[in-house]
A and B are shown apart, each in its own frame.
Chain A
Amino acid sequence: MKTDLRTLTLPLICLVAFNLLPQIALRPAWSSALCFVFLGYRAFLAYALLPIPPRWVLWLAQGVVGVAIWQHYNSIFGDEAAGTLLTLLTCLKTYELRSKRDFFVNSMLCFLVLMSNLLLDQSLILTLYVIADVVLIMSFLYALESETFSWAGMRGYLKPTFVLTLKAVPILVVCFILFPRFSTGFGTGAQTVGKTGITDELKPGSVSELINSEELVFRAEFSGSEMPPRRALYWRGAILDRSQGLNWTREKSTERQSPSYASQSAASVEIFLEPGFDKFLFSLDSTRTISFPSDFNRMRITKRPGGTFELISPLQNRERYNLENSLEGEALSIVGDLKKYVQVSEKPTSEMAKLLSQLKGAETAKTVSNVLGHFRGNGFEYSMQPPAARDIDEFIFKNKVGFCEHYAASTATMLRHLGVPARVVVGFQGGTPSFLENYISVRGQDAHAWVEYFDADGERWRRIDPTAQVNPARLNLGSQSYLQGQESWLPTWLMDSNNAYYRMRAVVDEFEASWIGFLVRFDLARQKELLAKFGMEETLFRALPVFLAMALVLILAVLYFIEAQRREKLTREERIYQEMLLTLKKWKIERLPSDGPLTLMDKVRARHPTMADQVEPIMEGLILARFGATQLDREQMDSLSRSVRNLRKLSVR
């Protein structure tokens, strides 16, 4: 076998390039571009059989990369910085492929790059990609062991890797279940990349820029209770209590209150929150408290005045938490300091004052319904791209076109002018039910803003949604329906395909949700729970490594047994030859390992001269089949096989 390590260079570069694909979405653009420049030039060198640059150029490049990382992240040790650095260095490593070990190290680096990707994203699509990538890297290691590579022989590397992968699966499962989870005690200090999400500030445009995003924010699973109608689902993120006309912000609160703990009630909602969307923990009106399964985050929950929850700092990993709900709107019954909710930054203009005096009712409820009624029938419109409004007057009297943030902000400000305590709530409304309707996915496009006012008679806050006055469909069908409505000038078939797209997205999302659900849920507690089901007691938990080792030994034995039972596939002529050898054995012709067909022929002649005439054509046929220039056709093979069988039937003295 001729071996040549150089034939492995191009495949390795392709492998590294394939490994980098998810980076394009996850890493800064300059680093991805740099990676592909490095790899492209290296591939060119390999293809043109040019020498690689001297070592000092490589060192220089490594230095430049380090400086660039430092410039970008101000560190080289953070998760992000280290991941990007690792990626770039893996690309540069392709410039020093001297020995077999270098190739091996480079493919190991590919695994680490893969790991750094998984830190940033764990979606289903990345998981599928990881599987493909791992199989390719393994195939490369396989080719590396044979020290030569040919593109035509790809199947020869992939097939054994598939077999290897299949055999590896039971071990993977056993390890996953039995490997004792432990904490390394290292914090995960670095910040993840901020995604667009709701903030604790509302101004014209802040919600409508979210509405185009399909990015998943969280999934909500309703256990033990039926899923409420979508129009009733107002996911409260933050309460904004400082009015500046159309702009609303919230007071900096130093108040830090840990939520009280109740035993897990039957009717709860499980939320799987995606990382990177600030620190808000979305909850419903009815939420009494929330609980976190992970100790780390439980300590970091803060309850804000008004009954919303958030973390001290944004979430690093996908996490789940439970909403403990009660039937009464618990969150809305917290009264708080009402004086703060009637403050306004400036006095109303004369035009506004005139309008307000018209809207003022005898009691709070009347006032509120008057204000909401004003948006109905006075030429107000709902739009994704409303004209810019500098202040509340411009919106109310001139433009009359706005998005939810315009309506919510102006309604709350007007109520305050009228002496009704009011506040703006930002969060999400509704969500998309999953394909199987067992959970709801809330995406960027479901972002919403609405108003809560204080009802002095009921001694509680009440929710109103001014946007619903203008665009009722927004609540029933979600913003998505509105977006579709906007595209109604499109041809029907495209609308249909658009629907098909949403349906397909729901199916994919379903798979993804169950995958994510599994991944996020499996922690130390779940591990204990699962093992308890198999009858393992808590006290035995410390002996997990022993069980793991035992299970591995057992699997080893089984696999070894399977390997020993495996029959090699023989070609047709080899099978016929085997049969011929058995015949000769029956004739008591001794065969040495080195005896070929010709030698055996001689032995037959010596021992059974009468049979020689019949054996000779078979042996010649077999020699021709194995070493002949052309392959024998089916018929010739059949006739060979037949004559051997006939020969076996003959009895020989």
Chain B
Amino acid sequence: MPDLSRWIVRENRIYIMPTGNGALYLAGIVVLILTASTYNNNLIFILAFFLFAVFFVSMLQTHYNLKGVRLRYNGSEEGFQGDRIGLNAYITQKRARTKKALQLRTGSKTFVTLKNAREDLGPQDTIKAVRIEVRAWKRGLHKVPTLIVETQYPLGLFRAWKVFRPEGEVVIYPAPQSGPPLRPRAYDQGEQDQGLRTSPDGDFGELKSYAPGESYHQIAWKHYARTGTLYTKVHWGAEDRHYAIPWNPPQKEFERYLELMSGYIKQACDENASFEMETPVSSIQPGRGAEHAKLCWRALALVAEPKGAS
């Protein structure tokens, strides 16, 4: 079945309606006209008609303020459910015009807009980067929400808006939850075991060059302040940890279990331990660091909910 709302509300069309303030304003005009008629007072008529004329002209200006404005989606961040996630876009216009107080928000219930961008375009600004922050309450691979560019310029009596439906997806990870502690599994005594271990629990050992993806917690910030180079602190004497995050979700609290897994990943990542994970659709080899964690989280986001789960 074709999406009816898509058919009714077309992309890049300008829609305009009075705001709540606009309705109040109209009510004021009605009061003025009734009073003017009752007292046969032409000056009040003039005041009322002037207010109406302003209402009328401001409708035009609000509408025009959005004319020629387009939106280009420019990717989003990934994040946990309930967290702030940034959506990026460009606002563009072809002709040299001033567009004031353009606001961007999402038009979906999945993504709640926390901070809508408020931007002005000058005649020279053909393109401007905007970023809004949203919050999603459901994990998974979502379509990019409908983005709405709107404006209430100049007097806030009307709201004009345009709807954009960008192609693309946003990954929302399950929120990390703490649960029963997961016991680390010691590595097989292999070639790695040199007594050289890295763990925040151990004593400080030495510095090594920072590699992208390593935990921020391990960066030697003081050293960075002195030298301007990033180093990672290597700790001695603690156990090297390895976590194998098991897959055995209970039938009843499926989502809760995913959140628990997400928490384990976070814990492992914070401890800079290595971890591996398994889901019905994928199995992830041992690894460590933020990038590895992202891989796992993404896998969790994609897990389909079994039928009959609550």
Interface set of A (CB-CB < 8 Å, partner B): 1, 3, 100-101, 104-105, 108, 111-112, 114-115, 118-119, 122, 127, 130, 134, 138, 141-142, 144-146, 160, 164-165, 167-172, 175-176, 179, 181-184, 186, 188, 294, 316-317, 518-520, 522-523, 552, 555-556, 559-560, 563-564, 567-570, 574, 577-578, 593-594
Q: Which of B34, B37, B40, B46 has the most CB of A within 10 A?
A: B40
Interface residues as binary, B119-158 with A (CB distance below 8 Å gives 1, 0 otherwise): 1100110110000000000000000000000001111110
Interface residues as binary, B87-114 with A (CB distance below 8 Å gives 1, 0 otherwise): 0001010001110110000000000000
Give Cα A520 to B39, complex, Å.
11
Any A CB within 8 A of the CB of B229 = no
| Chain A residues whose CB sits within 8 angstroms of the CB of B127 once the complex forms | 593-594
Q: Are A563 and B56 in contact (CB under 8 A)?
A: no
Q: Are B155 and A138 in contact (CB under 8 A)?
A: yes
Among B24, B37, B54, B61, the residue within 8 A (CB) of A138 is B54
Q: A145-B152, A164-B58, A188-B39 are in contact. List 15 more A-B contacts (CB 8 A).
A: A118-B44, A142-B155, A145-B101, A160-B154, A164-B154, A168-B50, A172-B53, A176-B49, A183-B37, A317-B41, A519-B43, A560-B60, A568-B98, A569-B123, A570-B96
Q: Are A171 and B123 in contact (CB under 8 A)?
A: no
Q: Are B24 and A104 in contact (CB under 8 A)?
A: yes
Q: Are A145 and B156 in contact (CB under 8 A)?
A: yes
Cβ < 8 Å to A, chain B residues 26-69 = 28, 31-35, 37-47, 49-54, 56-58, 60-61, 64
Q: Which of B39, B97, B98, B153 has the most CB of A within 10 A?
A: B39
| Chain A residues whose CB sits within 8 angstroms of the CB of B97 once the complex forms | 568
Give Cα A560 to B65, complex, Å.
12
- Of all chain A residues, the one with the shortest Cβ separation from B22 is A104
Would you mind naming 8 contact pairs between A and B with Cβ atoms under 8 Å apart? A111-B47, A118-B43, A122-B41, A134-B50, A165-B54, A167-B53, A171-B53, A570-B124
Give Cα A533 to B27, complex, Å.
34
| Chain B residues whose CB sits within 8 angstroms of the CB of A183 once the complex forms | 37-38
Known contacts A108-B24, A108-B25, A111-B32; A317/B39 CB under 8 A:
yes
| Chain A residues whose CB sits within 8 angstroms of the CB of B251 once the complex forms | none
- Of all chain B residues, the one with the shortest Cβ separation from A1 is B118
| Chain A residues whose CB sits within 8 angstroms of the CB of B64 once the complex forms | 560, 563-564
Q: Are B50 and A563 in contact (CB under 8 A)?
A: no
What is the minimal beta-carbon distance from B105 to any residue of chain A, in angstroms? 15
Minimum-distance CB pairs A-B, first 5: A168-B53, A171-B53, A568-B123, A175-B49, A145-B156
Give Cα A482 to B37, complex, Å.
44
Q: Are A168 and B60 in contact (CB under 8 A)?
A: no
What is the minimal beta-carbon distance from B41 to any residue of chain A, in angstroms? 6
Q: Are B21 and A101 in contact (CB under 8 A)?
A: yes
What is the minimal beta-carbon distance from A628 to any residue of chain B, in angstroms? 16
What is the minimal beta-carbon distance from A107 to any residue of chain B, in angstroms? 10
| Chain A residues whose CB sits within 8 angstroms of the CB of B126 once the complex forms | 593
What is the minimal beta-carbon distance from A61 to any residue of chain B, in angstroms? 24
Any A CB within 8 A of the CB of B20 = yes
Q: Are A570 and B42 in contact (CB under 8 A)?
A: no
Q: Are A184 and B53 in contact (CB under 8 A)?
A: no
| Chain A residues whose CB sits within 8 angstroms of the CB of B123 once the complex forms | 568-570, 574
| Chain B residues whose CB sits within 8 angstroms of the CB of A142 once the complex forms | 154-155
- Of all chain B residues, the one with the shortest Cβ separation from A116 is B35
Give Cα A350 to B301, complex, Å.
122
Give Cα A145 to B51, complex, Å.
17
| Chain A residues whose CB sits within 8 angstroms of the CB of B33 once the complex forms | 179
Known contacts A108-B24, A164-B57, A593-B92; A520/B156 CB under 8 A:
no
- Of all chain B residues, the one with the shortest Cβ separation from A176 is B49
Among A146, A175, A519, A560, the residue within 8 A (CB) of B53 is A175
Interface set of B (CB-CB < 8 Å, partner A): 20-21, 24-25, 28, 31-35, 37-47, 49-54, 56-58, 60-61, 64, 90, 92, 96-98, 100-101, 118-120, 123-124, 126-127, 152-157
Give Cα A166 to B52, complex, Å.
13
- Of all chain A residues, the one with the shortest Cβ separation from B65 is A563
Among B24, B39, B49, B60, the residue within 8 A (CB) of A119 is B39
Q: Are A114 and B47 in contact (CB under 8 A)?
A: yes
Give Cα A641 to B303, complex, Å.
62
Q: Are A175 and B44 in contact (CB under 8 A)?
A: no
- Of all chain B residues, the one with the shortest Cβ separation from A3 is B118
Q: Are A145 and B154 in contact (CB under 8 A)?
A: yes
Give Cα A291 to B97, complex, Å.
60
Q: Are B50 and A1 in contact (CB under 8 A)?
A: no
Give Cα A563 to B61, complex, Å.
8
Q: Are A146 and B101 in contact (CB under 8 A)?
A: yes
- Of all chain B residues, the one with the shortest Cβ separation from A559 is B60
Give Cα A100 to B57, complex, Å.
22
- Of all chain A residues, the one with the shortest Cβ separation from B28 is A108
| Chain A residues whose CB sits within 8 angstroms of the CB of B40 once the complex forms | 294, 317, 523
- Of all chain A residues, the one with the shortest Cβ separation from B96 is A568
Known contacts A141-B156, A563-B61; A164/B54 CB under 8 A:
yes
| Chain A residues whose CB sits within 8 angstroms of the CB of B32 once the complex forms | 111-112, 115
Q: Which of B47, B51, B64 has the most CB of A within 10 A?
A: B47
Give Cα A184 to B32, complex, Å.
12
| Chain B residues whose CB sits within 8 angstroms of the CB of A130 once the complex forms | 43, 47
What is the minimal beta-carbon distance from B261 to any residue of chain A, in angstroms? 41
- Of all chain B residues, the one with the shortest Cβ separation from A168 is B53
Q: Are A119 and B52 in contact (CB under 8 A)?
A: no
Known contacts A519-B43, A570-B96; A171/B37 CB under 8 A:
no
| Chain A residues whose CB sits within 8 angstroms of the CB of B156 once the complex forms | 100, 104, 141, 144-145
Q: Are B38 and A186 in contact (CB under 8 A)?
A: yes
| Chain B residues whose CB sits within 8 angstroms of the CB of A176 once the complex forms | 45-46, 49
| Chain A residues whose CB sits within 8 angstroms of the CB of B46 once the complex forms | 172, 176
What is the minimal beta-carbon distance from B136 to any residue of chain A, in angstroms? 26
Give Cα A146 to B102, complex, Å.
11
- Of all chain A residues, the one with the shortest Cβ separation from B153 is A145
| Chain A residues whose CB sits within 8 angstroms of the CB of B53 once the complex forms | 167-172, 175
Q: Are B20 and A127 in contact (CB under 8 A)?
A: no
- Of all chain B residues, the one with the shortest Cβ separation from A187 is B38
- Of all chain A residues, the one with the shortest Cβ separation from B120 is A1
| Chain B residues whose CB sits within 8 angstroms of the CB of A181 once the complex forms | 37
| Chain A residues whose CB sits within 8 angstroms of the CB of B51 once the complex forms | 111, 134
| Chain A residues whose CB sits within 8 angstroms of the CB of B124 once the complex forms | 570, 574, 577
Give Cα A444 to B155, complex, Å.
46
- Of all chain A residues, the one with the shortest Cβ separation from B119 is A1
Give Cα A165 to B155, complex, Å.
13
- Of all chain B residues, the one with the shortest Cβ separation from A122 is B43
| Chain B residues whose CB sits within 8 angstroms of the CB of A144 once the complex forms | 156
| Chain A residues whose CB sits within 8 angstroms of the CB of B43 once the complex forms | 118, 122, 127, 130, 519
| Chain B residues whose CB sits within 8 angstroms of the CB of A518 once the complex forms | 42
Q: Are B38 and A188 in contact (CB under 8 A)?
A: yes
Give Cα A171 to B48, complex, Å.
11
Give Cα A149 to B100, complex, Å.
16
| Chain B residues whose CB sits within 8 angstroms of the CB of A104 once the complex forms | 21, 24, 156
| Chain A residues whose CB sits within 8 angstroms of the CB of B96 once the complex forms | 567-568, 570, 578
- Of all chain A residues, the one with the shortest Cβ separation from B92 is A593
Give Cα A177 to B64, complex, Å.
28
What is the minimal beta-carbon distance from B301 to any residue of chain A, in angstroms? 31
What is the minimal beta-carbon distance from A184 to any residue of chain B, in angstroms? 5
Known contacts A1-B120, A108-B25, A145-B155; A522/B54 CB under 8 A:
no
What is the minimal beta-carbon distance from A348 to any residue of chain B, in angstroms? 52
What is the minimal beta-carbon distance from A560 to any residue of chain B, in angstroms? 6
- Of all chain B residues, the one with the shortest Cβ separation from A296 is B40
What is the minimal beta-carbon distance from B218 to any residue of chain A, in angstroms? 37
Among B24, B34, B37, B44, the residue within 8 A (CB) of A105 is B24
Q: Are A119 and B41 in contact (CB under 8 A)?
A: yes
| Chain B residues whose CB sits within 8 angstroms of the CB of A316 once the complex forms | 39
Q: Are B52 and A175 in contact (CB under 8 A)?
A: yes
| Chain A residues whose CB sits within 8 angstroms of the CB of B31 once the complex forms | 112, 115
| Chain A residues whose CB sits within 8 angstroms of the CB of B92 once the complex forms | 593
What is the minimal beta-carbon distance from B62 to any residue of chain A, in angstroms? 10
| Chain A residues whose CB sits within 8 angstroms of the CB of B57 once the complex forms | 164, 167-168, 171, 559
